[in-house]
């Protein structure tokens, strides 16, 4: 791996996780600790990152830092896996028997689908992955919102999907995000954001499910404000400052 490519990957890790240790970067890239330390020193001297003890902090600590990379569905499955499990377990506890639930796209929502309680539910989704997980499940009435298929996130989007969703009544919506900053909730794609926005507008109860790595970041399309939501469901280990940033606008459920 050449130096420029290696440093690009270092930037991506820091943009995603905020603060990363030298060992974590070394393990992820398969290079020596000494090489990573030299890269971090060089990037820090250019003002692109901040060095901290044992690692580095992303320049995303600057306000309004923009995410520059949309991770694929398969890439997202490996990131913050334990936090996603914790969030999914807590989220399914909010579901009432006999209700109509919208499940959005994303790997945390997929974890929810695998944990749904064994009672009668109607599930509305625009996620092919969620549909496939629930297709054989008893007690679930499934409504797959069709439209233009977006392979990168296994989602159906576009006017057809929006028209279908607009006609439905929803008790509770559970939707993920790529960024949470200054009360704005954002995602990488406008068409997906429009579906998420519409689903929240149709739901009586609105839950954002997002691990704390999304806090302090923003992406291309803002689809809702935190103060329009009932709660954000986060992992139990969320930092006090991250929790406080959300609680300025809505409650946190862990």
For 13, 60, 171, 172, 241, the CA distances from 247, given in Å and listed in that order, are: 27, 21, 23, 20, 10
Shared domain check, 130 and 89: yes
Which has more confidence, 39 or 70? 39
Instruction: Please give the mean pLDDT across all residues of the chain.
Output: 89
Residue 63 pLDDT class (50, 70, 90 cuts) = very low
In a domain, 67, yes or no: no
The per-residue pLDDT for 241 is 87
DSSP reduced 3-state for 84:
helix
The per-residue pLDDT for 183 is 95
The per-residue pLDDT for 15 is 79
* Residue 148 belongs to domain with CATH number: 3.40.50.1360
In a domain, 66, yes or no: no
Shared domain check, 206 and 124: yes
CB 95 within 8 A of CB 172: yes
The per-residue pLDDT for 62 is 47
The per-residue pLDDT for 57 is 81
* Residue 53 belongs to domain with CATH number: 1.10.10.10
Which has more confidence, 85 or 72? 85
In a domain, 68, yes or no: no
Mean pLDDT for 70-89 is: 72
How far apart are alpha carbons 198 and 163 in whole angstroms? 10
The position carrying tokens 């969620």 is 130
Shared domain check, 8 and 34: yes
Which has more confidence, 204 or 242? 204
Which has more confidence, 37 or 4? 37
- Of 115, 61, 58, 62, the C-alpha closest to 233 is 115
- Of 158, 72, 156, 139, the C-alpha closest to 101 is 139
Q: Which helix (H) or strand (E) holds 2?
A: none
**N residues, the chain:** 254
Give residues with Cβ within 8 angstroms of 192, minimum separation 6: 105, 150, 153, 155, 157, 221
pLDDT at 61 over 90: no
Tally of structural domains, the chain:
2
Shared domain check, 207 and 101: yes
DSSP reduced 3-state for 232:
strand
Residue 249 pLDDT class (50, 70, 90 cuts) = very high
- Of 51, 17, 47, 58, the C-alpha closest to 37 is 51
In a domain, 143, yes or no: yes
In a domain, 204, yes or no: yes
The per-residue pLDDT for 180 is 95
The position carrying tokens 């440093």 is 7
CB 114 within 8 A of CB 93: no
Give residues with Cβ within 8 angstroms of 127, minimum separation 6: 103, 104, 105, 106, 109, 110, 153, 154, 155, 156
**Domain coverage including residue 100:** 73-252
- Of 91, 121, 122, the C-alpha closest to 106 is 91
The per-residue pLDDT for 55 is 85
CB 229 within 8 A of CB 206: yes
In a domain, 188, yes or no: yes
Mean pLDDT for 157-161 is: 96
Mean pLDDT for 106-125 is: 95
Beta strands in the chain (DSSP E): 19-21, 49-52, 55-58, 100-103, 121-125, 140-144, 148-150, 155-157, 170-175, 179-181, 184-187, 203-209, 221-225, 231-233, 251-253
The per-residue pLDDT for 4 is 83
Shared domain check, 41 and 152: no
CB 199 within 8 A of CB 205: no
Shared domain check, 119 and 49: no
% of the chain exceeding 70 in pLDDT: 91
Shared domain check, 40 and 84: no
């Amino acid at each position: 791996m050449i130096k420029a490519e290696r440093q690009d990957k270092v930037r991506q890790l820091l943009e995603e996780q905020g603060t990363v240790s030298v060992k974590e970067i070394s393990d992820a890239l398969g290079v020596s600790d000494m090489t990573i330390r030299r890269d971090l020193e060089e990037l820090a001297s250019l003002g692109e990152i901040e060095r901290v003890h044992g690692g580095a902090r992303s320049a995303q600590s600057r306000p309004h830092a923009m995410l520059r990379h949309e991770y694929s569905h398969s890439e997202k499955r490996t990131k913050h896996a334990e936090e996603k499990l914790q969030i999914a377990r807590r989220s399914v506890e909010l579901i009432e028997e006999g209700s109509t639930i919208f499940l959005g796209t994303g790997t945390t929502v997929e974890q929810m689908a695998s944990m749904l309680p064994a009672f009668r539910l109607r599930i509305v989704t625009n996620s092919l992955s969620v549909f496939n997980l629930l297709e054989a499940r008893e007690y679930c009435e499934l409504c797959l919102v069709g439209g233009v298929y977006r392979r990168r996130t296994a989602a159906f989007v576009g006017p057809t999907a929006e028209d279908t969703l607009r006609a439905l009544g929803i008790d509770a919506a559970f939707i993920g995000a790529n960024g949470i900053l200054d009360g704005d909730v954002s995602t990488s794609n406008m068409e997906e954001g429009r579906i998420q926005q519409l689903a929240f507008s149709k739901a009586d109860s609105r839950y954002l499910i997002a691990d704390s790595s999304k806090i302090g970041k923003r992406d291309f399309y803002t689809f809702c404000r935190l103060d329009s939501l009932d709660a954000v469901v986060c992992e139990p280990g969320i930092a006090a400052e991250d929790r406080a940033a959300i609680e300025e606008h809505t409650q946190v459920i862990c």
